[in-house]
Amino acid sequence: MQTEVRYYQEPRVNKPVMVCGLPGIGSVAWIAVNHLQKELKAELFAEVFSPMFSPKVWLTDDGLVKLMKGEFYFWKNNGSGTDLLLFSANEQPYSPEGQYELADAVLGVAQKFGVQRVITMGGMATEKFAEQPKIYVGGTDVGLVKELEEFGAVKLAGGAITGTNGLIFGLAKPRNIPAICLLAETPGYLSLDANAAKAALQLSSKLLNISLDLHALDKQAQENADAVQKAKDLSRGAFPHEGKRDDRDLSYVS
């Protein structure tokens, strides 16, 4: 069995930007792309099946079977911004080769639709909770990084990004597709960090010139903040190094 992209329709998109987010640290990228899909009512146009996913199936509340898979959505912009392709999946392939395989398949779709830019996202674990999470960025060229710094992002100078989100970003370069990776600051101990996802989307909306309603994320983000505050109140002094740690020591994991 080979990795296969199965098309349900061929969307007519004009110089689209592709935004990718697989599950990873804090689920930042996955939350962000799922919010984008729901908020914009982006339409499913293709799915990718692969023996590189884990060997199991899920059942919906209706008893319907769902494979582990990746999903491609499109959104046609009627305003002044750009058309979008979105990619997400319910897990990252478990093997290293599988992560390369999926990243390569995603970029194959990007190339087929003449994608102008690929944006991958992820979380950067900083071990502290930030109300306004910083966004760290890297790119396939200096111009892209500069453009993002103008929007308030912090340049990733050195370090590594592991996993499929990083590979989609990196493999875009030999395919000559301009790509950026946005890593939102996340404490690392949150499994679903809506606050970090919101910060990543705020920057993305400026970059894409698309206005986004982020209220649905606000609610979950507030719950996160409350839970973190409560934990801090209970264990005052339990994180003695918090705030002192040099961000430069961090290895970036998406």
What residues line the site for a second copy (CB under 8 A)?
1, 6, 47, 49-52, 54-67, 94-97, 99-101, 103-105, 137-142, 145, 155-164, 166-167, 169-171, 173-174, 179, 181, 252
- Give the nearest distance from C-beta 177 to a second copy in angstroms: 12
**In this structure, what DSSP letter does residue 88 have?**
E
Query: For 95, how many CA atoms within 13 A lie in the half-sphere containing its CB?
Result: 9
Write down how long the chain is. 254
Nearer to a second copy, 76 or 155 (CB): 155
- Give the nearest distance from C-beta 61 to a second copy in angstroms: 5
Nearer to a second copy, 156 or 210 (CB): 156
Nearer to a second copy, 88 or 164 (CB): 164
- Give the nearest distance from C-beta 207 to a second copy in angstroms: 15
Nearer to a second copy, 81 or 170 (CB): 170
**Which backbone phi and psi does 84 adopt, to 5 degrees?**
-125, 145
- Give the nearest distance from C-beta 169 to a second copy in angstroms: 6
Nearer to a second copy, 156 or 199 (CB): 156
Count of Cβ atoms closer than 10 Å to residue 157 Cβ = 9
- Give the nearest distance from C-beta 47 to a second copy in angstroms: 7
Tokens of 57: 């199936």
- In the block, which residue shows the tokens 């890593």? 183
Tokens of 77: 């912009």
**Which backbone phi and psi does 196 adopt, to 5 degrees?**
-65, -40
Q: What radius of gyration, in Å, describes the C-alpha atoms of the chain?
A: 18
